[in-house]
Amino acid sequence: MRSSTTLLAASVSTRRLPVNLEAGDRWLFEHELQRALPASRLIDMREVRVGAGGVLFKAGRILPESFAFPHLLGEWTRLRRLRFLAGHYLLKTPRRIERDALWIADTWSAGYFHWLADTLPRLFLVRDHLKDWTLLLPDYARDLTFVEPSLAPFGAGRVEYAARGEVLACRRLFVPTHAAPSGHFNDAVILSVRDLLVTAYGGDGDGDRLYISRSLARRRKVSNETAVVEAMRRFGFRIFHPESCPFEEQVRAASVARHLVSSHGAGLTNMLFMHPGSHVLELRHEGDRLSNCYFTMASALGLNYAYQTCASIDPGEPPHTADLRVDIPRLERNLERLLAGG
């Protein structure tokens, strides 16, 4: 048994072109200048089970609501599905959840961007019910240092985790669908999420210049990071490593930044905490027209988005994993223009 109600009507998101759009680069953005967003619904499910890894299943069937996009279920082979269901039905005794419960995660929610940009908007849509429902989260969320402090401003007081190796059997489970498909945003919702987090953890002041480095990341690094850092310092930018800071400090640092520069990656998600009218420069792969989530986020947040395309040090490496080399003279010109914008 399942039913659903509408939480958010269908809408259309319109985006502004980058403030420094170069001739010949329109192809990177033109397909994202307008996007229809489907309605968000609250699904009321009965007798659903939840695996510790965050997969929902019922009556021998894995549910598409487990995934960021329903079609991702199709990537599971028949053998993988059978092994999952056999292991979760035959080898584990479920823990019964009798209280009405809420599920907001999907199989991408462990990522910093996806947690803040996809998962928290779902929580925002049902914020008025949090006093009545138990929020259930997958086991991996327990180890993510940004999860608990990001939940606190929403008033999510009753939280339970599906422990590793555990199956939860939910009498009644509410699942809000995404406020927008991953990589896209309902402007009002993402701004409201921003306001909640900045009100809780934001700092005083407005005018800092921040370069978010990926030097501690495992992939998509800047190969000439030393030269980039030197240029940033010449222009008065502070070098920031988000991996070394608690979530609250990331919010505070970005909330007082007027100008932010970073290469494509999780750290750039911190633009979420900047004030509308601030300026962002994304260093991005020169051939990647698919990864436009920061372009669309900046537009939704009312930020002035600029970009610089960068060559990969290995032309055969996919954009999602490739290290980039930044053209320093071009970066300096972009920084001059960025700072002249206010």
Residues 242 and 150 in one domain: no
Residues 105 and 207 in one domain: no
Give pLDDT tens digits along the chain (342 positions). 688 999 999 999 999 999 999 989 999 999 999 999 999 999 999 999 998 889 999 998 999 999 999 899 999 999 999 888 888 877 678 899 999 999 999 999 999 999 999 999 999 999 999 999 999 999 999 999 999 999 999 998 799 999 888 899 999 999 999 999 999 999 999 999 999 999 999 998 878 999 999 877 788 888 999 999 999 999 999 999 998 999 999 999 999 999 999 999 999 999 999 999 999 999 999 989 999 999 999 999 999 999 999 999 888 788 888 889 999 999 999 999 999 986
Residues 223 and 324 in one domain: yes
Q: Which sign, positive or negative, has the C-alpha torsion 268, 270, 276, 277? A: negative
Residue 24 falls inside a structural domain: no
Closest CA to 113 of 23, 217, 42: 217
What is the distance between the alpha carbons of residues 279 and 193, in angstroms, rounded to a whole number? 20
- For residue 120, the number of C-alpha atoms closer than 13 Å in the C-beta half-sphere is 27
Residues 46 and 162 in one domain: yes
What is the distance between the alpha carbons of residues 280 and 308, in angstroms, rounded to a whole number? 11
Tell me, what CATH number does 261's domain have? 3.40.50.360
Residues 145 and 235 in one domain: no
Q: Does residue 263 contact residue 283 with C-beta atoms inside 8 Å?
A: yes
Condensed to tens digits (0 to 9), the pLDDT of residues 117-142 reads 999 999 999 999 999 999 999 999 99
Residues 68 and 171 in one domain: yes
Q: How many domains does the chain have?
A: 2
Residues 176 and 212 in one domain: no
Residue 300 falls inside a structural domain: yes
Of the three residues 180, 209, 236, the one that is the final residue of a domain is 180
Residues 161 and 271 in one domain: no
- For residue 144, the number of C-alpha atoms closer than 13 Å in the C-beta half-sphere is 20
Residues 145 and 62 in one domain: yes
Residues 93 and 208 in one domain: no
Domain, as residue range, for 159 = 39-180
Residue 285 falls inside a structural domain: yes
Residues 161 and 279 in one domain: no
Rg of the chain over Cα atoms, rounded to whole angstroms, equals: 21
Of the three residues 150, 180, 210, the one that is the final residue of a domain is 180
Closest CA to 104 of 89, 90, 91, 117: 117
Residue 16 falls inside a structural domain: no
Residue 28 falls inside a structural domain: no
Helix boundaries (H) for the chain: 78-90, 112-114, 120-125, 147-151, 187-201, 225-234, 247-255, 293-301, 328-340
Residue 25 falls inside a structural domain: no
Residue 26 falls inside a structural domain: no
Residues 161 and 207 in one domain: no
Of the three residues 123, 150, 180, the one that is the final residue of a domain is 180
Q: Does residue 299 contact residue 273 with C-beta atoms inside 8 Å?
A: no
Residue 317 falls inside a structural domain: yes
